[in-house]
A and B are shown apart, each in its own frame.
Chain A
Amino acid sequence: MRRGVAAFLNRKPGLRLSILLSAPMAWLGLAYLGALAALFVTAFWHADPFTGTVVTDWSLDNFETLVTDSVYRTITFRTIGIAVAVTLVDVVIAFPMAFHMARFASPRARRVLVIAVLTPLWASYLVKAYAWRTMLSGNGILHWLLAPVGLSSPGYGLTATVITLSYLWLPYMILPVYAGLERLPDSLVDASGDLGARPWRTFRSVILPLTFPAIVAGSIFTFSLSLGDYITVRIVGGASQMLGNVVFDNVGAANNLPFAATVATVPVVIMLGYLAAVRRTGALENL
């Protein structure tokens, strides 16, 4: 019996493939993609103002509120501003680190360094945000470190949010940039030197243009992750709100799921626009 089944399957590679794909595709293709599609559809419905139940009348009212209400405009631009700031901070910190790892460290040291950068990615997001809350507090360690040089901790607010998000997503920037720099052939750098370019010129004209797609690849993570965040800003952002907070409050307290769905499309649309814009750089092959 078993041999019969095995022989039958052996003759039918298409059937074997279908069986292997069936369960994962049912889960991800039907359930997950279906949920995403349903979310998009819900954005065009609205909630009954008294009961909070979803009314399936089609309209663009939610989108109109989103665009015309100055509160949501401010929050959208603030969120984009934070995401841009976080991305820039991460590029500035990650590039020198990745550069040393890829170009100067020995192969053995490289492996250790990659693991050293990777491991904290798995440490809880919440714990890291919480650690910064403790560090940034009035009597925390930042105050203790900065007070002797006449500075003070930035306290809770937008600066703290940018610092904490940059910290959280830093490894996502280091790893693609490192991979990009490691792929860069030594011969090109040597050729540039042989042709008389000084190190700075080689960096500017050879290394930077060739690793730019990798930097963009890293920025996709830092940008996307910052756009969707709402917990860090709750923990270290004081009273500031980001798009994610609007979504969260509308699912919970305000019980207006359709409007939450509308707001949630904003980061998705921004990310799709960003991905379309950077596709020409070849960044997507660096993911």
Chain B
Amino acid sequence: MTSRGVRYLLLAALVLGLVVIYFPLLLVLLNSFNADTTFGWPPSALTFEWWTRVASNEGALAALRTSVVAGLAATGIALVLGTMAAFALQRYRFYGRDAVSLLIILPIALPGIVTGIALNNAFRTVLGVDLGLLTAVVAHATFCIVVVFNNVIARLRRVGGDLREASMDLGADGFTTFRLVTFPMLRSALLAGGLLAFALSFDEIIVTTFTLGAGLETLPIWILNNLFRPNQAPVVNVVAAVLVLASTIPVYLAQRLSGDTNSGGRL
């Protein structure tokens, strides 16, 4: 076969692969308008009814509130801890530096079920704390740190230390330099990292299953609890469509903000 033929074959594989990646997500969006409650294909008719029905579904709305609160709280903690860790690892060389960077990615590199059950065990058996919203926030913050860390350290590497040194040479102390020089340069990276951390927390299900108190539901847990109830199917599908939109929009924004291709990486 000619190398031109191979090229077209590879291009076809790439296009086909991307179609396979996006097709199920588009189908979820499309099916949220499918009038058939079992999502038979092709749809016999389209409807907005399911979207309006979600707006009055108490369970889904309560789950949305829980998800947003947990996501914001976890993002806040992750922003502080991730930024501190990024400064430490970018500006200093010290013994155990590699171990620290491994520790930061560990919560997301280990299977979710291991992190989930480890924290569940620590809360219930070791600390004797009842599971609630707070325990889920702690768990989410643990695996969101790496996302903020990655974004901040990438920005610190790119801007280097010249401006900071210039500021110090001109007489600004450490705090003033941070406020007027370092922080403004970090702002978009922090925003990107925060958006991604929120997206990660908003979608997470495995660790959440093990750390959220009984009676509470985040949106993914609400979906899982209602997934096998046939009469809830259309509403579940609308919530799924909301999750698709809610997770890909922050990623798109984060990539625009930070200007680093690698900022979308989860590891």
Which residues of A are at the interface with B, using a C-beta cutoff of 8 A?
2-3, 5-7, 9-10, 13, 16-17, 20-21, 23-25, 27-29, 31-36, 38-39, 42, 54, 93-94, 96-97, 99-101, 104, 111, 113-128, 130-135, 137, 139-141, 143-144, 167, 170-171, 174-175, 199, 221, 224-225, 227-231, 235, 244, 247-248, 251, 257, 260-261, 264, 267-268, 271, 287
Is chain A's binding surface mostly helix, strand, loop or mixed? Answer: helix
Bound-complex Cα distance A104 to B9 (A): 12
Chain B contributes a number of interface residues (CB within 8 A of A) equal to: 91
Bound-complex Cα distance A229 to B116 (A): 12
Say yes or no: B81 contacts A127, CB within 8 Å.
no
Say yes or no: A111 contacts B261, CB within 8 Å.
yes
Note all chain B residues with C-beta closer than 8 A to A221: 267
26 contacts between A and B (CB under 8 A): A6-B175, A10-B174, A20-B85, A20-B92, A24-B81, A24-B104, A33-B103, A97-B14, A100-B14, A101-B14, A115-B264, A118-B255, A119-B248, A124-B202, A127-B244, A128-B24, A130-B240, A134-B27, A227-B111, A230-B113, A231-B224, A248-B113, A261-B121, A264-B118, A267-B111, A267-B114
- From 1 to 60 in chain B, residues with beta carbon under 8 angstroms from any chain A beta carbon are 3, 6-7, 9-11, 13-14, 17-18, 20-22, 24-25, 27-28, 31, 38-42
Note all chain B residues with C-beta closer than 8 A to A33: 103
Further pairs besides A27-B142, A97-B18, A174-B17: 15, Cβ < 8 Å: A23-B81, A24-B100, A25-B100, A28-B142, A32-B106, A32-B142, A38-B125, A96-B9, A117-B21, A127-B243, A134-B27, A175-B265, A227-B111, A231-B206, A251-B117
Known: A127-B223, A128-B25. A9 touches B113 (CB 8 A): no
Note all chain A residues with C-beta closer than 8 A to B202: 124
Which residues of B are at the interface with A, using a C-beta cutoff of 8 A?
3, 6-7, 9-11, 13-14, 17-18, 20-22, 24-25, 27-28, 31, 38-42, 80-82, 84-85, 87-88, 91-92, 94, 100, 103-104, 106-107, 109-115, 117-122, 124-126, 138, 141-142, 145, 173-176, 196, 199-200, 202-203, 205-206, 209-210, 220, 223-224, 227, 236-237, 240, 243-244, 247-248, 250-252, 255, 261, 264-267
